[in-house]
């Protein structure tokens, strides 16, 4: 025998044996579940527990089926009676198309050593859920963190339900009062016009996309904006406050300029519960850029605006 073989034999003999925990498995109990599924779940869970290599499993000769889940004291008594370190209970409860699969392990004194739970969409999900629950008990980790490509449940794969946001398209008319104009320097002038908007209602907040055109004399303003608002009523008439940002192309007698502008606005939405809505809004907008003026200092136009819109 070569010295390498002898060395490998000595190392193997010196390595400590892997600790194995003795557990007694109580038959599965459940609510609104076929008793045959509970019996099969007990057998499948036992196989998965043994497959971990860390647990020595025996099944307790106690009744399972459609009955109450064993209490911690009852589980502790089963552990003592079976001479096991832990007693494992399995509870499957179904409500509609969703089932809850709960595994708990108790020590001989009735204290909980491990409690875990996974959801299942149906009987086909049980094997994957039981496999992960067994691995979680053996490794002392939550089952939801042990998903693998072949143990993701249908319940986990289902997309989350979300609120449906309604939206309306609208046309509006209004006026923007431009202050601190380029020419004559520092003067104010109103520009009339209108535009279109898409208003999205997500219940707890409103959001809109808008495109507006204003003009008057030497003034030109084109605005592409986005806004967010908080409604103060869930009724058919809903006041709101908010603000947003827009990209402005404007000319107020100078060289013209383009850039971002910030808006603060408030209004009233009439017909929020209807397919036809009236939207009255007023606010203030401030440019975050300047417009150059020949032989003069650049100016920063700003000012109030007001609109009336019809959405449908």
Question: If you ran DSSP here, which 8-state letter would residue 146 be given?
Answer: -
Tokens of 234: 């869930």
Token pair recorded at residue 242:
């908010």
Q: How far apart are CA 49 and CA 235, in angstroms?
A: 56
40 and 141 fall within a common domain? yes
Q: Quote the tokens at residue 291.
A: 């417009």
pLDDT of res. 15: 45
Structure tokens, 101? 């699969």
Q: Is 165 helix (H, G, I), strand (E, B) or coil?
A: coil
| 272 located within any domain | yes
**Which tokens go with 3?**
């010295």
Whether residue 299 sits in one domain with residue 175? yes
Nearest to 74 by CA among 24, 30, 32: 24
Decide which of 155 and 304 is more confident: 304
Say how many domains are in the chain: 2
pLDDT in tens, 28-37: 999 999 999 9
Domain with 300, as residue range(s), is 166-311
Are 183 and 304 in the same domain? yes
Q: What is the pLDDT of residues 191-242, one digit of tens each?
A: 999 999 999 999 999 999 999 999 987 899 999 999 999 999 999 999 999 9
Rounded CA separation 189/13 (Å): 95
Residue 202 lies inside a defined structural domain of this protein: yes
Note whether 140 and 178 are same-domain residues: no
Together in a domain, 120 and 139? yes
What are phi and psi for residue 190, nearest 5 degrees? -95, 145
Cα(98)–Cα(221) distance, integer angstroms: 56
């Amino acid at each position: 025998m070569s010295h390498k073989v002898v060395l490998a034999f000595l190392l193997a003999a010196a390595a400590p044996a892997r600790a194995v925990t003795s557990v007694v498995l109580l038959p599965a109990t459940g609510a609104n579940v076929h008793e045959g599924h509970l019996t099969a779940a007990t057998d499948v869970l036992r196989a998965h527990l043994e497959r971990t290599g860390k647990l020595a499993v025996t099944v307790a000769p106690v009744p399972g089926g459609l009955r109450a889940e064993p209490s911690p004291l009852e589980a502790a008594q089963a552990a003592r009676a079976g001479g096991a370190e832990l007693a494992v209970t399995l509870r499957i409860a179904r409500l509609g198309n969703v089932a809850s699969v709960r595994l708990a392990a108790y020590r001989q004194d009735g204290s909980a050593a491990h409690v875990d739970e996974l959801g299942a969409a149906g009987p086909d999900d049980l094997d994957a859920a039981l496999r992960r629950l067994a691995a979680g008990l053996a490794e002392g980790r939550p089952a939801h963190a042990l998903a693998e490509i072949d143990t993701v449940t249908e319940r986990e794969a289902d997309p989350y339900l979300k609120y449906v946001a309604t939206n309306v398209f609208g046309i509006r008319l209004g006026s923007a009062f431009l202050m601190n104009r380029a020419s004559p320097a520092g003067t104010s002038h109103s520009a009339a016009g209108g535009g279109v908007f898409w208003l999205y209602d997500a219940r707890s907040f409103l959001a809109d996309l808008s495109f507006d055109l204003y003009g008057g004399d030497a003034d030109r303003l084109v605005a592409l904006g986005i806004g967010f608002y908080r409604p103060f009523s869930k009724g058919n008439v809903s006041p709101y406050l908010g603000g947003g940002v827009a990209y402005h192309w404007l000319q107020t007698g100078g060289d013209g300029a383009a850039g971002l502008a910030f808006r603060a606005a408030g209004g009233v939405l009439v017909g929020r519960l209807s397919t036809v809505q009236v939207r009255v809004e007023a606010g203030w907008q401030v440019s975050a850029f300047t417009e150059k003026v020949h032989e003069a200092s650049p100016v920063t136009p700003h000012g109030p605006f007001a609109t009336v819109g019809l959405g449908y």
